[in-house]
Amino acid sequence: MPVEPPASAWVFPPADSADDYGVVGIGADVDPGTLLAAYRSGLFPMPIEPDGMMGWWSPDPRGVLRPGDLVVRRSLQRSRRRYEIRVDTDFEGVVAGCSDPDRPRGWIDGRIVAAYIELHRLGWAHSVEAWDEEGLAGGLYGVALGGLFAGESMFHRRTDASKVALAALADLYDDREDRLIDVQWCTEHLASLGATEVGRHHYLDLLPGLVATDGPDWTTAHQAGGQGREGH
């Protein structure tokens, strides 16, 4: 079971008080208690600018992926056969891949890296990884709160490795209506995989039920290697 950290010293403004950019507040820390309080309030952290003040975001609309809506085309089905899926075997490696400074529009700085490694140590943050004969090929990480997976970032070093990791995550969360993957912003790439947009108020209405429901057993997923189905 995850370990509940000390409560945050900060109190966030309501998520629906965000400005036109989706920013609710600036500052605070990224201690485990603060991060969990943010996610439970419908917020997530991202620096306003590289290495700058930490922003707390609640975009409108919000990008989400219902696990059963994942689009698995034939090319992705073939790619899934090329990789071995593992769960939480190299969380730090996944975060390092996502925080590579050579990635365009990189925003994951040392504060974020240290914060999520600690959140992983406490049992809240998890990685889904795609491996091949050359090693870690790609993956994603995020925070699991009941039936909600708050996705933070994904990366790939080989073709389709991050997509395969996302497909494995969707398998893990199954197609239950009370489970949801939060992708923050629905990019064109994520939309091609089945992500959609919901209004901020709708997301906030869903949030208490998502957090309160039971989520997947990450310990079992880790032991089983997180193997998923070939496709829908």
pLDDT at residue 134 tops 70: yes
Give residue 32's pLDDT band: very low, low, confident or very high (50, 70, 90). Answer: very high
Name 119's Cβ contacts closer than 8 Å, sequence gap at least 6: 32, 35, 36, 125, 143
Give residue 220's pLDDT band: very low, low, confident or very high (50, 70, 90). Answer: confident
Please report the sign of the dihedral spanned by the C-alpha atoms of residue 38, residue 41, residue 45, residue 49.
negative
CB 74 within 8 A of CB 214: no
Q: Which of 230, 169, 160, 168 is nearest to 189 (CA)?
A: 160
Q: What is the pLDDT of residue 101?
A: 81
For 114-123, what is each residue's pLDDT tens digit? 999 999 999 9
For 143-164, what is each residue's pLDDT tens digit? 999 999 999 999 999 999 999 9
Question: Does 229 or 210 have the greater pLDDT score?
Answer: 210
* Secondary structure of residue 198 in the 3-state scheme: strand
Q: Average pLDDT for residues 113-139, to the nearest whole number?
A: 98
For 180-191, what is each residue's pLDDT tens digit? 999 999 999 999
For 66-114, what is each residue's pLDDT tens digit? 999 999 999 999 999 999 999 999 999 999 999 988 777 778 999 999 9
Q: Which domains does the chain have, with CATH numbers?
A: 62-199+213-224 (3.40.630.70)
Give residue 232's pLDDT band: very low, low, confident or very high (50, 70, 90). Answer: very low
For 44-53, what is each residue's pLDDT tens digit? 999 998 889 9
Please report the sign of the dihedral spanned by the C-alpha atoms of residue 158, residue 103, residue 170, residue 168.
positive
- If you count them, how many residues does the chain have? 232
Please, what is the average pLDDT of the chain? 93
Q: What is the pLDDT of residue 223?
A: 55
Give residue 230's pLDDT band: very low, low, confident or very high (50, 70, 90). Answer: very low
